[in-house]
Amino acid sequence: MVQHGSKPSREIQKDPETLKLIQSSLRSLNEAISYAPHQVMLGNIYPDTLSELESPWYENPTDSNSHKGPHGEIVGEEIFYGLIKGVDDFGLVSIEESFAKRSYSEIKKMGYLTGDLLQKIEGVPVSEIENRLQEDNVLPLRLGTGETIGFISTDYAEDPSLSPDILLENLTVKATATMALNSVLESNGVDPETIDYVIGSGEEAIGDRYNRGGGNLAKAVAEAAGCMQSTGADIKAFCCAPVHATVVGGSLITSGVFPNIAVIGGCSLAKLGMKFQGHLKKGIPIMEDVLVGFAILLGPDDQVSPVLRLDSVGRHTVAAGSVQQKIVEALVQTPLSKVGLKFQDIGKYATEMHNPEITDTAGSGNVPQTNYRLIAALAALNGEIEKGAESRDAFVKTHGMPGFSPTQGHVASAIPFLGHALDDLKRGNYQYSMFLAKGSLFLGRMTHMSDGESFILEKNH
């Protein structure tokens, strides 16, 4: 799928030879599985452990070959293309018949996707694929090896909002979010029929030319995941949307509107290979090679699960402007003082969790570290820790962590730590964890502002 990322697809258009360069720099599925940051995403390794592992992590695979963990599962292309076909309600995707059979049987073995989804995984003869690829408005679907296994077309070529590349982007979002939701429902023993409301928090724009970005992926995913008693809606707020969605979900539960809520987020196809040129220049693998989806279940107090402290919600107000100190005050200091806590009462802060090995190697810096240092600086300004690099670094080490998330936009904003925080809080490793996310609103050219929101999770007493 990397060739369909925004940057790779533009560069391939300029120079078709780029495709070969990309294909020769992709990792195998096993390499992606044993990659330490991915094992952290799956919940098999705790984030802090990354600092003890030899780096670069891409040259030092972990011993774990497990594609599953307590927080998720990684699947390869064979399963993924089948999932796309399985969530395609309009016959937009065609995959080769023997490939479809293999994919069907692998997806069936996963055990948690619906029968309706499985039924749609049917293939077509290779001759049909070859013929259709001669037409305009048909995009090939390829494996990392370069082998073509299918195509995606549109059923309305005149509408640029329904072009094959946009439909592919939206189907990958639906596929990843559906897989995540079904996986989370199954691993928590929750009947999909008990979910009342699904909230989408991704950055995709779904709609035709009259309502580009009209959205409601949430309801499409609810249907695909078998949440038949649910409806839903999306919250759009760039990378900050998952935190906004979680706060809205918690509020709907507390106000008694809907008792059982799922917050979902699909992947960001556009961000695959976003920094591939930097990685190629350094002769290292293209590490923006995975798509991520997530799902969070929210419900009434069960006396066990950590508590979402709605009285702790922090927000980057319009008045706070663009100065980092004001932003961190709004997101961290104000909510802490509202609930009578100090900076060091928070066991772990989850901020932008982007894997620095992906960003630093391409000249984009270490985003989590920058954010943790800002929080530490504010703690120092408030006299809660000593001023100076030593105490700052000690604060970051204790209350922060190395980044480990794929650079998948909204996915990377705080949420990847949620599974670990739930484990920590249930075990009593600490009492509180704070989640803060930021959104780059300025990218849409409607304002120069960014956005942010935060919440605190508390151990259930």
Sites of contact with other proteins (CB under 8 A): 321-324, 352, 354, 359, 364-365, 367, 370-371, 407, 409, 412, 438, 440, 442-443, 448-450
Q: How far is the CB of 327 from other proteins (least distance, A)?
A: 9
Residue with tokens 């630093």: 360
Question: Closer to other proteins at the Cβ: 229 or 324?
Answer: 324
Distance CA 331, CA 314 (A): 5
Instruction: Measure the N-to-C terminal CA separation of the chain; round to a whole number of Å.
Output: 45
Question: Closer to other proteins at the Cβ: 211 or 325?
Answer: 325
Q: Are 154 and 92 in contact (CB under 8 A)?
A: yes
Q: How far is the CB of 19 from other proteins (least distance, A)?
A: 25
Question: Closer to other proteins at the Cβ: 323 or 389?
Answer: 323
Q: How far is the CB of 407 from other proteins (least distance, A)?
A: 5
Question: Closer to other proteins at the Cβ: 60 or 322?
Answer: 322
Q: How far is the CB of 50 from other proteins (least distance, A)?
A: 18
Distance CA 313, CA 324 (A): 18
CA neighbours closer than 13 Å in the CB half-sphere of residue 292: 25
Structure tokens at 89: 């309600």
Question: Closer to other proteins at the Cβ: 196 or 451?
Answer: 451
Q: Hey, what's the torsion of the CAs at 319, 215, 71, 290, to 10 degrees?
A: -100
Neighbours of 251 (CB within 10 A): 14
Residues paired with residue 152 on neighbouring β-strands, in sequence order? 93, 139
Q: How far is the CB of 438 from other proteins (least distance, A)?
A: 6
Nearest to 295 by CA among 152, 452, 159, 190: 190
Structure tokens at 24: 């020769």
Q: How far is the CB of 46 from other proteins (least distance, A)?
A: 23
Question: Closer to other proteins at the Cβ: 192 or 403?
Answer: 403
Q: How far is the CB of 441 from other proteins (least distance, A)?
A: 9
306: which DSSP letter? P
Nearest to 435 by CA among 331, 307, 311: 331
Question: Closer to other proteins at the Cβ: 129 or 328?
Answer: 328
Neighbours of 454 (CB within 10 A): 28
Distance CA 153, CA 211 (A): 20
Question: Closer to other proteins at the Cβ: 398 or 440?
Answer: 440
Please, which residues have CB within 8 angstroms of residue 96's CB and are 6 or more apart in sequence?
123, 124, 125, 126, 129, 149, 150
Question: Closer to other proteins at the Cβ: 306 or 409?
Answer: 409
3-class SS of residue 432:
strand
Enclosing H/E stretch for 24: helix 17-24
Q: Are 197 and 230 in contact (CB under 8 A)?
A: yes
Q: How far is the CB of 150 from other proteins (least distance, A)?
A: 31
Neighbours of 214 (CB within 10 A): 12
Structure tokens at 52: 């003890």
Question: Closer to other proteins at the Cβ: 427 or 448?
Answer: 448
Q: How far is the CB of 374 from other proteins (least distance, A)?
A: 8
Q: How far is the CB of 124 from other proteins (least distance, A)?
A: 38
